[in-house]
Amino acid sequence: MLDLYSVGMERGLLYETIVTTRNPDGTPNAAPIGVICKDAREVVVYLHEGSQTFDNVKREKSFGVNILRDPMVFVESTIGNLDTTKFEPHQDYFSIKGAEAFFTVHVTREKLVQRQDHLGTSTINVLTARVGELVKNQEHVNPLNRAIYGIIEALVYLSRIDIVSEEERKEYLEKLGETSRVVNKVGSKEHKKAMKKILEYLRD
């Protein structure tokens, strides 16, 4: 039986996905949402109040998760909504055409919390959801995790930090601090170890 590990997810890591839900009028909705792999058949998701996805999941108690790497799908589902031609019905759910993998989940636990971070204070619905059906559309699935891209970005800053002005160096250090925050939030032990090595090299 297919599970989250079979589509490249690792326990405890956060992956960038496209979550698909059903609007009150029955039309599909898509949004880029980070999904944490809790175990082989369970995920944790943080949904911000005020979004259509928040309202739809609150009502339906279920949603679809699409694993894909198409940058335009991420952009279009953030700044508006995907054209209906990009969706395809999947039983009582919607999936995104061209997704590497797709799975359905049913909410088993939810909790509203107030969270304050570098972006401000917001109300978040913390969901635990159980995986239902999982469809694998290609043999090798590569779910997106931001940590590796953060490390690459950090290495770009590191390679230039000694040849820029003092003002630019200060900006690079600020960017490295933010990049380190992201890597430590979403990355694995290996990602965090790599980021730590970059910061230690800077201090030497």
Pick the CATH number of 4-136 from 3.40.718.10, 3.40.47.10, 1.10.3720.10, 2.30.110.10: 2.30.110.10
Pairwise CA distance, residues 86 & 97, whole Å: 6
SS (H, E, C) 38-77: EECCEEEEEEECCCHHHHHHHHHCEEEEEECCCHHHHHHH
pTM: 0.87
Mean pLDDT value of segment 34-46:
97
Pick the CATH number of 146-203 from 1.10.20, 1.20.1280, 1.20.120, 1.20.58: 1.20.58
pLDDT digits (tens, 9 = 90+) for 83-114: 999 999 998 999 999 999 999 999 999 999 98
